[in-house]
Amino acid sequence: MTLAPDTAQDPEAGRWHYCPPSPLGLNPLFSWPPRPRAVLDWYSGAWLQVTALTVCFAIAVLAYVVALPPLEQMATVRPGWIIRVWLMNLVPQIIVAGGLHWWLYQRKGQGMQTKFDPRNLARDNGIFTFRNQVWDNMWWTLGSAITVATVYQSVILWVMANGWVPVVSFAKHPVWFVAWMALIPMWSGLHFYWVHRLEHQPFLYPHVHAVHHRNVNVGPWSGISNHWFENMMYFTTYFIHLIIPSHPLHLLFHAFFQQVSPVLSHSGFEKLIANDTQIAKSGDFFHQLHHRYFECNYGTSEIPFDTWFGTFHDGSAEATKRTRAFKKQMYTR
Ligand SMILES: [Zn+2]
Ligand SMILES: [Zn+2]
């Protein structure tokens, strides 16, 4: 079912084909007074359904079992295991982004149901590398992002394999193992907010982050379609595993959460639907608003930094006005 945007209330709403009701929800863990029931619903909605979190966790377990070499083998730098780590990153990215792109944009499997932006992805447009949005996004994802992610992960695995940092196991530290896994999305959100705000500074934005923001109307391949320098900053999030005691599975879950979940959140559709049944939650209107209005929603809905620092766009006309004023102020400083 499509929610018709209300243009009488907000003239901007006519630019959306579909949008969820405003104000957008954020993690109620941080609301005051406490709302335990809402917190339970938030976490069960994220972990007990097919969502970015559960898909990424499943890929991490599968990759750990079938692809990641034993830690001992990675103590010496050798091309063989590094190529395996690269393939372990490359293959799920191609399957998830390619699969979603095929279903949503080529086969048009669910038509326009829950599609935020009414437009098609761009072709023959000089803004994009190869003049084509999808090819541009594929190049920056598979060429740049996966390469940088593989280098960083290989360094961390090599350090872990040599015993230079503590490596935990489920058998010996079950509580920490589970707790750290659950906290990784929060760490990711915290790191992302600050790196992302830095990338939006006028001295850096046009040279680096503008590559990601070529995509106002996003698609699955836009998720980690980033400039080299942005990837070098964005993936530093993984180095937390050299500070906080981790297991390689923590790194893998973190990796797929960082690499594959943006594929879903940039899919451009709020839900995946087949035969009129919802298969999974996918798109993220919170971040879709960031791609439309730029200077808002730098973080994720997991930790409400945007609320705390006055950059939250809740989908309302008032928030659009505020965001535009903030952008003007940023560029006239
Ligand atoms: Zn941005
Ligand atoms: Zn984005």
**DSSP codes of every residue in 244-283:** S-B-HHHHHHHHHHHHTHHHHHTSSBSEEEETTEEEEE--
- pLDDT for residue 159: 98
Instruction: From residue 92, give the alpha-carbon distance in Å to each of 79, 105, 158, 256.
Output: 20, 19, 22, 9
Q: How far is the CA of 151 from the centre of ligand 1 (A)?
A: 24
Q: Which-ligand-closest: CA of 141?
A: 2
Identify the CA nearest to 137 among candidates 259, 229, 195, 220. 220
- pLDDT for residue 237: 98
- pLDDT for residue 6: 61
- pLDDT for residue 8: 63
Q: How far is the CA of 289 from the centre of ligand 1 (A)?
A: 10
Q: How far is the CA of 215 from the centre of ligand 1 (A)?
A: 10
Q: Which-ligand-closest: CA of 311?
A: 1
Q: How far is the CA of 266 from the centre of ligand 2 (A)?
A: 6
The Cα 190–Cα 181 span in angstroms is 15
Query: What is the chain's pLDDT, residue by residue, as a tens digit (333 residues)?
Result: 445 556 667 778 889 999 999 899 899 999 999 999 999 999 999 898 889 999 999 999 999 999 999 999 999 999 999 999 999 999 999 999 999 999 999 999 999 999 999 999 999 999 999 999 999 999 999 999 999 999 999 999 999 999 999 999 999 999 999 999 999 999 999 999 999 999 999 999 999 999 999 999 999 999 999 999 999 999 999 999 999 999 999 999 999 999 999 999 999 999 999 999 999 988 899 999 999 999 999 999 889 999 999 999 999 999 999 999 999 998 887
Q: How far is the CA of 246 from the centre of ligand 2 (A)?
A: 28
Q: How far is the CA of 62 from the centre of ligand 2 (A)?
A: 26
Q: Please state the length of the chain.
A: 333
Q: Which-ligand-closest: CA of 295?
A: 1
Q: How far is the CA of 101 from the centre of ligand 2 (A)?
A: 16
Q: How far is the CA of 143 from the centre of ligand 2 (A)?
A: 18
Q: How far is the CA of 139 from the centre of ligand 2 (A)?
A: 16
Q: How far is the CA of 49 from the centre of ligand 1 (A)?
A: 28
The Cα 204–Cα 326 span in angstroms is 17
Q: How far is the CA of 213 from the centre of ligand 1 (A)?
A: 6
